[in-house]
Structure formats: structure tokens, C-alpha cells
Amino acid sequence: MRFLVAGAGSWGTAFTRVLLDRGHRVVLACHTAEQADAIARTGWNPRYLQSVDLRAVEAVALADAPGDVDVVVVAVPSRAFTSVVDALPGEAPVLSLAKGLDPATGERLSSRVRGRQVAVLSGPNMAEEIAEGLPTAAVVASEDGFLAGQLQHALNSTLFRAYVNPDLVGVELCAAAKNVIALAAGGVDGLRLGDNAKAAVIARGLAEMTRLGEAAGARAETFAGLAGMGDLVVTCWSRHGRNRHAGELIAQGLTPERAIAEIGQTVEGLTTAPVLRDLSHRLGVELPITEGVCSVLSGQSIAELAAGLMGRRPTEE
């Protein structure tokens, strides 16, 4: 198959390698012509995952992306997702790798795709490990079972195991919410509160995500799977996790802006947290960790937040 990967950041670069290893042809559409020229000239991404061999890739600027492809893979930040999809030529199905909500409307990103079939891929997929050839698993979610099956067949290998799931709502909400919980888990690391506290944040965060998903019409079992628990655990614990790292830096005294600058890449949880909170208000669902993260981003001390969460009225699990 011929794939267009829109977005040449870490995840777009690593996923391009997955496609190449499965024997597919890949056009990698870069944010700038300079990045595309560098990849075309050297066979390597000058900024992201520089160990990934891209010599078999056709690199172009995003503005020059072709329309005659079988699938468009969109690997851009949530804030850019709608504008990128709207500008893409052709009518090929979209496979979204983005993990967030549309910050302008609060909608799930797949709902921003017009006139195309759409699927979402999510799971415990740290780009750095995939780039090193380490094994992982992911779930492809779509309301179109035939499309999900096609993508599963196109992606599945001994290093990248692909499952299908019809619960598009649940998979997308998992992908968005887990980044916010990872900010809180990083805060635990920054305050050196220990593994017990971190595990508690992850477990209660999973319960929080599941409540929100069920209220939005998702299936509870999705949150116990790869897109839910799997992605949540790796995002909260991995040294590669940008959201975890940002939470750690903020707990150590950096502003969110300085944390982003130090990490040097998109930190989706910082964009998603207030959008997720507003969604929970519309659905009437209580998300104490998400509310707390938003309070810290608005200036509350993270130590005060930790004390407030621990001091909440005891209740049933």
C-alpha cells in the first residue's frame, strides 16, 4: 500500500519505519520544506529520532502532499490536526495517531475529519522504543470494521502487534485523558512521593478515565485494554514520557512554558487538560485528578494539590 504520513515528528518518524518494515511505500510530509529537503538528501530526520533510516522514503513539504495514496496517517499535535486534515488533497481514509481533543471545539479529533473514512491508532507506543526495533502492541479503532481490518493486516508484525476495536469513542478518550494523568504522575516524581503514591494516581486516574468514557458512550472494557491501561502505564512510568517529564519539571518549580522549552517537543497533556475538564463538566462527571492538574497549571502549588487529593472525603472505590 502507499501511505502518506503527515507529520515528521518523533511518532510520525517511528511509524514511518513501521510501515517501511512491512514493505509499504511511504510519502513523509514534513512541516517545512527544509526538513523535507534534509530527509531527501541524507535519508535521516535532522531533528527527531536521528537513528531511523528514512532512505526509502519520499519526503515532501506538507503543502506538497500528494492525494493519490491509499491511507493518510496524521501524526501532528491536536491543535494542528483539523487544519492539516482539511488541507490534505484526495479522499483517502485517515488513520489518526494524534492523542488529544480539538482545543477549539472540545470534540474528538476523528469527528473533525470530513468526507473521509477514519480510524484511530493508540496503545503503549513510545516512539523511541519503536525506533529501536523493540516490540509493542496497538489497537486500531474505527466504526468501519472493514477499514480497521485492512489497517490491522497492513500493520501487524512480530514487532508491532495490531488489534482492532470498534469503540472509537473510548480509544480516543483514553488517548487524550492518559496524558493528563501522566502530568499528575510526573508531579509525584517531582515531589519524590514514592512509587506507592504514583501507583495510586495511575489507578485512580484509570477509574477517572473510565467514568468519563462511559458517560460519553464508550465501552468500559476499552479502558482496561491497550489504549487505556496499557498506554496510561507506559506514559506515566517511561523515561521517554513527555507528559510525565513535564509534570516532574513543573513540580520542581518550572512554569509549563519553561517545561515545554526544556523538553523541546509537544506536551499534549498541557493542551488537553482544560479541554478534558470542560468536557467532564458538560457530561456531569467528576474528574478530581484532571481538575487538580488544571489548578496547578493555573498557579496552585502542586504540594497543596497533593494534600487536597489525599484529604478528600473517604468513599467506596
φ and ψ at 67, to 5 degrees? -100, -15
Q: What gap in Å lies between CA 13 and CA 8, rounded to an integer?
A: 5
Q: What gap in Å lies between CA 36 and CA 176, rounded to an integer?
A: 29
b/e per residue, 144-154, with b = 16+ CB within 10 A?
Answer: eeebbebbbeb
**178 given a catalytic annotation:** yes
CB 171 within 8 A of CB 164: no
Q: What gap in Å lies between CA 76 and CA 275, rounded to an integer?
A: 18
Sole residue written with cell 511511504: 26
Q: Distance of CA 271 to CAs 102, 160, 179, Å?
A: 9, 29, 10
Q: Kindly name the residue from 17, 99, 178, 244 that is annotated as catalytic.
A: 178
Query: Catalytic amino acids?
Result: 178
